Amino acid sequence: MNTKVFILFALVAVVAADKLESFESGEARYEFDWAVNHDDSGNDFGHQEARNGDNTQGSYYVQLPDGRLQTVRYVVDGDDGFVAEVNYEGEARYPDSNESK
């Protein structure tokens, strides 16, 4: 039994090594987005991003506990680095100290 397992692992290693050697590197390209909106807990947040080579653009948002929506839009363009713009929608609301007791 141990010999069969060893042979199986050896075969997997050979196939994986062959795949690594034949991998051709190219420009990075992808897009994704996801979101969570759960009314019962109040969780509302998400993220989206797209990349084409050295250029990356995206945004994410979160519903803050004070009632505002925070949105961050960003770009990453090669060696220029990460540049973000942060915005808030709505007005912060804080409960009176008597309400929390």
Q: What's the pLDDT tens digit per position in 21-50?
A: 555 667 899 999 999 999 998 889 999 999
- Greatest C-alpha distance within the chain: 71
Band (78; pLDDT cuts 50, 70, 90): confident
pLDDT at 60: 97
Provide CB contacts within 8 A for 83, sequence distance 6+.
74, 75, 76, 77
The tens digit of pLDDT for each residue in 47-73 reads 999 999 889 999 999 999 999 999 999
Distance between CA atoms of 44 and 89, rounded to whole angstroms? 14
- pLDDT for the residue 14: 61
